[in-house]
Every structure is written in structure tokens, then in C-alpha cells.
Amino acid sequence: MASETSVVTPERFSTGLDSYDAWIEAIPERPDRFHTHYEEYEPDADDVAAVKKLVDEHGVKVLTIGEHWCPDVWRGLPVMAKVAEATGMEHRIFFRDQNKDIMSEFLKDGEFESIPAMVFYDKYHNYLGHWIERPDIANQEMDEIRQRVMPNGPPPEGPERDEVMKRYRSEMNERAGEWRHQSLRDWRAMLEEKLG
């Protein structure tokens, strides 16, 4: 466990939604945002094989914290779902706002409730590490896109803002393929460093 006092006991872990389909059924809206990333993403075979080896040898499992309205969750949760399906990794999904006690253990910079948060454990429920929000390359490129599309910040509410935000989302979606692949590479590196 992350600590002796972690609220994420094996029993609590087991109460999370147990599949991508269960998540889609549970969310109140925007399933199309998730389906786009799920359908477009094909995990790299070498990365899948490496993670599957760790799942087979160490019983790696993962908890995802998310919400249906978050663009980083639209992109990240389907990637984890595909990886879990391809490797046999147990994947449990929790809504952030219904599980603030779990979220409080995995804050970004010890302060922010950033999602998605992916928390990895071994078969004995020993905490292996966690990953938050998006890969570093996405942070860099999102800043570049933001500066290019809206150098003075988002316009006030209205048609101009709608058009600017549409362009911003479109440019991010053009880069999403690489960000999805880098997410899996990040998870693989974290697990290999911890488990060898």
C-alpha cells in the first residue's frame, strides 16, 4: 500500500468499476469523447508485451481516478482500458468527486486534484507508484498550442471564443496519438524501474 493508513485497501480497490464498458454505462454524458480515443488507439506491441510480463510475474493492477467531463480523462482512461485488456491487468475505475478520500492521497504537487490519476499495485496490494494527468510531452505541446491559438488568453464568452476553443481542441486532438503512446511508455518505465 502507499501507506499503512491508505484508504485504498484491497477491499476498497475491488469496489471500483471493473471495465471500460462499466465506466461508459456509469457516466451521465459524453461517451463519444471516450470512444474516439478508445477506437483510435492501438497500443504498441513491445510496450504491451513488457507490461504483460510484469502483470504475469507480479500481478500488477491499476486504479484509475477520473470524471466524465475532463479532456485528460477522455484521452487517458481509454488508453489504460486498452492496455488492461491487452495485458490481463486488473483495472478498477473510481469517480474522483465520489471518492475524495482516495484522491487526497494522490494529489498533483501535493495540492491539486488532477485527473486522471493512475495508481499501480502488485498482487499483494503493495503500492508501486502513480501517474497523474498526462505525459510531459503533452504539457509542453499544449502550452505551445495555447500560445499559438490564443496568445492573449481565451476570448470572452461568445462566438469568437467558441471558434478559438474549437481550434484549440482540434490541434490537441491532432497530437493525441503521440500523447497516448507516451502515456503507456511512462507507465511501462515506472513499473520496470520498480519491479526490474
3-20 pLDDT per residue, tens: 568 999 999 999 999 999
* pLDDT confidence band for 2 (50 / 70 / 90): low
84-111 pLDDT per residue, tens: 999 999 999 999 999 999 999 999 999 9
152-183 pLDDT per residue, tens: 988 899 999 999 999 998 999 999 999 999 99
Query: What does the mean pLDDT of the chain come to?
Result: 95
Domains of the chain, start order = 10-133+181-195 (3.40.30.10)
* pLDDT confidence band for 1 (50 / 70 / 90): very low
137-153 pLDDT per residue, tens: 999 999 999 999 999 98
Percent of the chain with pLDDT over 70: 98
13-67 pLDDT per residue, tens: 999 999 999 999 999 999 999 999 999 999 999 999 999 999 999 999 999 999 9
The DSSP result for the chain, as a single string, is --STT-S--HHHHTTSB-SHHHHHHH-SS-HHHHHHHHHH----HHHHHHHHHHHHHH--EEEEEE-TT-HHHHHHHHHHHHHHHHHT-EEEEEEGGG-HHHHTTS-BTTTB--S-EEEEE-TT--EEEEEESS-HHHHHHHHHHHHHH-TT-PPPTTHHHHHHHHHHHHHHHHHHHHHHHHHHHHHHHHHHHHH-
The overall pTM is greater than 0.95: no
